[in-house]
């Protein structure tokens, strides 16, 4: 008996099941069955589309993560210099006040801007901090130069991720999202492949039973993971 794939499992789990089933099929001699061959070709095609859609989702997630790293670097610099502006040492205080005047011109609200606006503002800030007249003050403040370097690295990394995301996004209008594709993959597996293999394993067990049991195990393993996740207690508030 082959279970149906649980329909509300994660998109990445459906992608993995599709890849495992198509991989298992390629190790069989069932390509002589034209109907099954057609099903597997369709599953491989849909699975490829699902994998690509997941990659686009990952690109957006990575962009958000890199933006947060950029925000953290700016806030670290801002609070460090703000604190040093109250330092008892007059030299440190004067240097910090000089740098803080630049930072305060941009303000903490820089991190609330759109991706494009924040990139423009951070680039402008980094350019201001690179001016020759500020280098002596930066050198006088322990950790300042290091955090400025971290901010520049974070900005460079964000821009690289943004370009990659924009390239994917430019083609988004011609592509379906992962959720839509996932539904089709689940339907293909449950309503066609599972139904067909259950029937053929009864009609010709010698030919189909091994592949049918393999598909059943792949689905069962995935369903067990989903069921265990459901049983986990909700975190305490």
**What's the average model confidence in pLDDT over 18-34?**
95
- CB neighbour class for 102 (10 Å; exposed up to 12, middle 13-18, buried from 19): middle
Please give the backbone phi and psi of residue 236, each rounded to the nearest 5 degrees, phi first: -65, 140
Q: Does residue 42 lie in a domain region?
A: yes
Domain range for 202 is 1-228
**What's the confidence (pLDDT) of residue 171?**
61
* Tens of pLDDT, residues 134-154: 999 999 999 999 999 999 999
**What's the average model confidence in pLDDT over 210-227?**
95
* Tens of pLDDT, residues 170-192: 665 556 788 889 999 999 999 99
Alpha-carbon distance 18 to 104, whole Å?
53
Please give the backbone phi and psi of residue 201, each rounded to the nearest 5 degrees, phi first: -65, -25
For 59, half-sphere exposure in the C-beta direction (CA atoms, 13 angstrom radius) is 19
Report the predicted TM-score, pTM, of the whole model to 2 decimal places: 0.58
Indicate the average pLDDT of the chain: 90
Q: Does residue 196 lie in a domain region?
A: yes
**Number of other residues whose CB lies within 10 A of the CB of residue 100:** 19
Residue 44 pLDDT > 70, yes or no?
Answer: yes
Token readout for 98 is 């000089």
**What's the average model confidence in pLDDT over 193-215?**
95
Residue 132 pLDDT > 80, yes or no?
Answer: yes
Q: Does residue 60 lie in a domain region?
A: yes
Q: Which helix (H) or strand (E) holds 84?
A: helix 34-84
**What's the confidence (pLDDT) of residue 235?**
46
**What's the confidence (pLDDT) of residue 170?**
65
**What's the confidence (pLDDT) of residue 60?**
74
Q: Closest by alpha carbon to 151, among 61, 62, 69, 63?
A: 69
Q: Does residue 161 lie in a domain region?
A: yes
Q: Does residue 233 lie in a domain region?
A: no
Q: Does residue 106 lie in a domain region?
A: yes
Q: Does residue 67 lie in a domain region?
A: yes
- Total domain count for the chain? 1
Residue 237 pLDDT > 50, yes or no?
Answer: no
Three-class SS string for 211-233?
HHHHHHHHHHHHHHHHHHHHHCC
Alpha-carbon distance 154 to 158, whole Å?
6
What percent of the chain lies above the pLDDT cut of 70? 94
Q: Does residue 236 lie in a domain region?
A: no
* Tens of pLDDT, residues 222-235: 999 988 877 655 44
Give the residue with greater pLDDT, 111 vs 164.
111
DSSP 175: S
Q: With DSSP H G I counted as helix, E B as strand and the rest as coil, what are the percentages for the chain, rounded to 5?
A: 85, 0, 15
37 alpha carbon, distance to own chain's centre: 33
């Amino acid at each position: 008996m082959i279970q149906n794939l649980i329909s509300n499992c994660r998109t990445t789990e459906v992608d993995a099941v599709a890849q495992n089933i198509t991989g298992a099929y390629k190790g069989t001699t069932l390509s002589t069955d034209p109907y099954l061959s057609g099903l597997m070709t369709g599953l491989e095609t849909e699975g490829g589309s699902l994998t690509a859609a997941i990659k686009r989702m990952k690109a957006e997630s990575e962009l958000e993560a890199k933006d947060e790293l950029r925000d953290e670097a700016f806030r670290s610099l801002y609070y460090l210099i703000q604190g040093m502006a109250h330092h008892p040492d007059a030299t440190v205080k004067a240097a910090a006040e000089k740098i803080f005047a630049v930072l305060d011109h941009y303000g903490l609200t820089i991190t609330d801007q759109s991706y494009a606006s924040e990139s423009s503002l951070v680039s402008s800030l980094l350019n201001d901090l690179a001016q020759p007249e500020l280098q002596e003050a930066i050198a006088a403040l322990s950790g300042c130069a290091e955090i400025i370097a971290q901010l520049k690295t974070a900005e460079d990394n964000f821009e690289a991720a943004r370009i990659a995301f924009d390239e994917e996004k430019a083609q988004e209008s011609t592509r379906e999202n992962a959720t839509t594709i996932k539904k089709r993959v689940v339907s293909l597996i449950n309503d066609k492949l599972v139904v067909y293999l259950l029937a053929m394993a009864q009609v010709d067990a010698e030919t189909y039973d091994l592949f049918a049991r393999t598909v059943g195990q792949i689905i069962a393993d995935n369903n067990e993971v989903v069921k265990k996740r459901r049983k986990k207690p909700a975190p305490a508030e």
